[in-house]
Amino acid sequence: MVTTNTLAPIAEPAATKPATTTRLTGLTNNNTTTLAGLSGWTVTKTTAVYKGTPAAAHKAVQQQMDTVRAAEGGKVSGYQSLIAVRNKLRELTEGGSHPAVTVTIKRATKKPAKTRTGSPAARLTRKRQNEYTTAELVATLETGWAAIRTNHPEVPAVVIIVGSGTASKQARYGHFAPIRWQHGDHQLAEVLISGEGLKRPVEEVFTTLLHEATHALAHAREVKDTSRQGRWHNQKFADLASELGLNTTKDPKIGWSLCTLRKETATTYKPVIADLKKALIAFRHPETTGGETKKNNNNAVPCVCQCPRRIRVAKAVLEEGAITCDICETHFEPDE
């Protein structure tokens, strides 16, 4: 800021920011030993406290893991303990919780509240405008569907909803389900856009809408475009997707399901995509499973990747070499 004053202004005391600490309890001796030398950590026998947020604590542990792995490899003593601590912290950074991790925030003294002005009705209106609702998002998705129907009249009308895409074992960005809704004498199909998928770029979200429109077009034409309970997308789906402006890639597990938006298609729907981008201001966190992990009496080792997905692998198989996740392209590592 530029000023013409010749005398230095009296500086006002800076506002005290909330002091956040992340506390881990119930740790083993190996856990605390690996954290003892890291900057920002204070450890006791079974407890470790980090001066910062869970995200900052997670980053500090991950950086130490990367350093150790690069210098000494993933099997060095203490590395698996770092993995265990990292995984506890990662659950908080992804919106979940962990029984062994607590976050304490020491907040600054509150400033006096500003005097309200205007009528009660005016104040209420402003407050409501600052709150998030799904109305604009759903309306924009419906506008996008209407635009698709304008260009492809055979695509039927549907009911669009936003919900969970990770409530089942198979995570998904969307689905098309025929005859789910009744409107007077008419039956309507349902198109789900997953809340978890709203974190993606707007072009990918609109691609999901076109992907489901492809299924809707197949249903209208009575074309069987999938098999294996809807998981495998066949060549007929690829042909219909191309008709709607998508490029498809064949995956060995799910067929021609992977779609990308063509440049000319993005140009056609440019106003719709622009409006959708404005509406993508929130997304849903994945489902988390509660309760204690069931004990298993076999010798399988629980492992996680960066997704995180979990698998159990026999120790002998794990020792033969790295197992890579095809989604995040990281190795599955033991989860203590």
pLDDT at residue 233, rounded to an integer:
94
pLDDT at residue 93, rounded to an integer:
63
Whether residue 35 contacts residue 48, with contact meaning beta carbons closer than 8 Å, is answered with yes
Between CA 97 and CA 90 the distance in angstroms is: 9
CA count, 13 A, side-chain hemisphere, 284: 19
Between CA 161 and CA 135 the distance in angstroms is: 11
Give the mean model confidence (pLDDT) for residues 172-191: 91
Give the mean model confidence (pLDDT) for residues 166-176: 84
Phi-psi category of residue 101: left, alpha or beta, with phi > 0 → left and psi -120 to 50 → alpha: beta
pLDDT for 15 beyond 80: no
pLDDT at residue 11, rounded to an integer:
47
**Tens-place pLDDT, residues 106-136:** 444 455 555 555 555 544 443 444 678 889 9
pLDDT at residue 109, rounded to an integer:
46
Order of strands across the sheet that contains 186-194: 158-163, 186-194, 174-183
Whether residue 53 contacts residue 103, with contact meaning beta carbons closer than 8 Å, is answered with yes
pLDDT band at 299 (very low <50, low <70, confident <90, very high): confident
pLDDT at residue 10, rounded to an integer:
40
pLDDT at residue 209, rounded to an integer:
97
Task: Name the more confident of 286 and 123.
Answer: 286
In this prediction, what percent of the chain has a pLDDT beyond 90?
Answer: 37
**Tens-place pLDDT, residues 41-99:** 888 878 888 888 888 888 888 888 888 888 887 777 778 888 888 887 776 666 555 55
Nearest of 169, 30, 24, 38 to residue 97 by alpha carbon: 24
pLDDT at residue 198, rounded to an integer:
95
**Tens-place pLDDT, residues 235-285:** 999 999 999 999 999 999 899 999 999 999 999 999 999 999 999 999 999
pLDDT band at 172 (very low <50, low <70, confident <90, very high): confident
pLDDT at residue 41, rounded to an integer:
85
